[in-house]
Amino acid sequence: MNTDSRRDFLKLAAGSAAYWSAGGVISSAFAASNTSLVTLPLGDGLAVISGGGGNVLALRGPEGLLLVDGGTAARSKQVLAAALKATGTRKLHTLFNTHWHPDQTGLNAQAGSDGARIIAHENTRLWLTRKITTDWLPAGYGPLPAKALPNSSFYTHETLSFGDEAIDYGHLGQAHTDGDLFVHLRKSNVMAAGGLVSSVGWPVIDWQTGGWIGGLVGGIDRLLKAANDNTRIIPADGAAITRAHLQAQRDMYFTIFDRLVKLLVKGLGPDEVVAAKPAQEFEAQWGPSDEFVRTSFKSLWGHYAPDA
Ligand SMILES: [Zn+2]
């Protein structure tokens, strides 16, 4: 561990301890470590690996290692090695893809080659069968080779047992994309929330693959229903949060959503809506909002203005 990664780790550990005892929001140490991986133990055989793309949740079971997301392709080997080490396991058994994005699905090729089960929502599997080009990803991504595709897809809600852990996983509707899922480890009461949730800034609303701001609110409502006050919620980016913090995010997104719909009904275009600063009071905590507002506004078109 180099000096920078050690500093990140200590910040993370300190933030986490402060958070779980005091109920505040953890620091953004996860995002700071884009060049080195950070392992945060969450319990026996359970850890979060960050810095290799999106956050990766790792769980030990008698069959081997279970991961929720796998980081980017470039970092996936290191992510897997860190997860095996953190959990004391030897082989990847199950990999969840919370959605199709490159920060989450970079380990799929290796997982497929190793014979692992890859679980995803059916829409995520379909996106990964083709090349996807979006405004925020102009170079495109995919298609993944056949062996890298999810080999266990579902539509609504499923459960599975992994060792003594009872796992619920389910679709979050059209939110960040149209194939988002959450994974709730009920015994450990840890929930991987996928791309809807960030604790370090605005999430992407990937409206070109089915995400939209109204669905983001609805998806977070589903997470709120599945979580309780003691649930540790792991976002795609940033440190863990509680249900209370997630509720605050939900309320913020609803406020922005409501304003955007009103601006749409008035007939404003994207530049005018950005200029109206409908998320201004949240910028102190979440950073500049123009891009989030622009994509969120465009994400309304398919739902409120099909001819736009
Ligand atoms: Zn994403």
Whether 288 is covered by a domain: the verdict is: no
Q: How far is the CA of 242 from the centre of ligand 1 (A)?
A: 20
Amino acid letter for position 143: P
- 5 pLDDT above the threshold of 60: no
Q: Into how many domains does the chain fold?
A: 1
Q: How far apart are the first and last CA of the chain?
A: 52
pLDDT at position 1 is 33
Which residue in 161, 160, 81, 172 sits closest to 123, CA to CA? 172
Q: How far is the CA of 34 from the centre of ligand 1 (A)?
A: 16
Q: How far is the CA of 99 from the centre of ligand 1 (A)?
A: 7
pLDDT at position 307 is 65
Q: What is the mean pLDDT of residues 16-43?
A: 53
> Directed axis angle between helix 213-226 and helix 243-265, to 10°?
160
pLDDT at position 26 is 32
pLDDT band at 305 (very low <50, low <70, confident <90, very high): confident
Q: How far is the CA of 264 from the centre of ligand 1 (A)?
A: 26
- 150 pLDDT above the threshold of 80: yes
Q: How far is the CA of 266 from the centre of ligand 1 (A)?
A: 31
Q: How far is the CA of 158 from the centre of ligand 1 (A)?
A: 22
CA distances from 278 to 68, 245, 288, 292 (A): 34, 21, 12, 10
CATH of the domain at 103: 3.60.15.10
Q: Which of 10-14, 34-38, 41-45, 104-108 has the lowest mean pLDDT?
A: 10-14
pLDDT at position 28 is 34
pLDDT at position 304 is 87
pLDDT at position 66 is 98
Which residue in 289, 206, 287, 199 sits closest to 236, CA to CA? 199
**pTM exceeds 0.85:** yes
- 185 pLDDT above the threshold of 70: yes
Residue with the larger pLDDT of the pair 43 and 20: 43
d(CA 258, CA 188): 36
- 209 pLDDT above the threshold of 90: yes
Q: How far is the CA of 136 from the centre of ligand 1 (A)?
A: 11
Q: What is the mean pLDDT of residues 246-268?
A: 97
Tell me which residue range forms the domain holding 229. Answer: 3-252
* Pair 38, 18: CB distance under 8 Å: no
pLDDT band at 18 (very low <50, low <70, confident <90, very high): very low
Q: How far is the CA of 103 from the centre of ligand 1 (A)?
A: 7
DSSP labels, 57-122: EEEEETTEEEEE----TTTHHHHHHHHHHHHT-SSEEEEE-SSS-HHHHTTHHHHHHTT-EEEEEH
Whether 303 is covered by a domain: the verdict is: no
Q: What is the mean pLDDT of residues 162-166?
A: 97
Q: How far is the CA of 81 from the centre of ligand 1 (A)?
A: 23
pLDDT band at 35 (very low <50, low <70, confident <90, very high): low
Q: How far is the CA of 112 from the centre of ligand 1 (A)?
A: 21
- 94 pLDDT above the threshold of 60: yes
Q: How far is the CA of 207 from the centre of ligand 1 (A)?
A: 11
Whether 110 is covered by a domain: the verdict is: yes
Whether 167 is covered by a domain: the verdict is: yes
Whether 269 is covered by a domain: the verdict is: no
- Torsion angle of alpha carbons 101, 106, 110, 112, nearest 10°? 0
Q: What is the mean pLDDT of residues 186-194?
A: 98
Q: How far is the CA of 101 from the centre of ligand 1 (A)?
A: 5
**What SS3 class is residue 152?**
strand
Amino acid letter for position 24: G
Whether 79 is covered by a domain: the verdict is: yes
Whether 95 is covered by a domain: the verdict is: yes
- 257 pLDDT above the threshold of 70: yes
| Eight-state DSSP code of residue 146 | G
Whether 115 is covered by a domain: the verdict is: yes
Q: How far is the CA of 198 from the centre of ligand 1 (A)?
A: 10
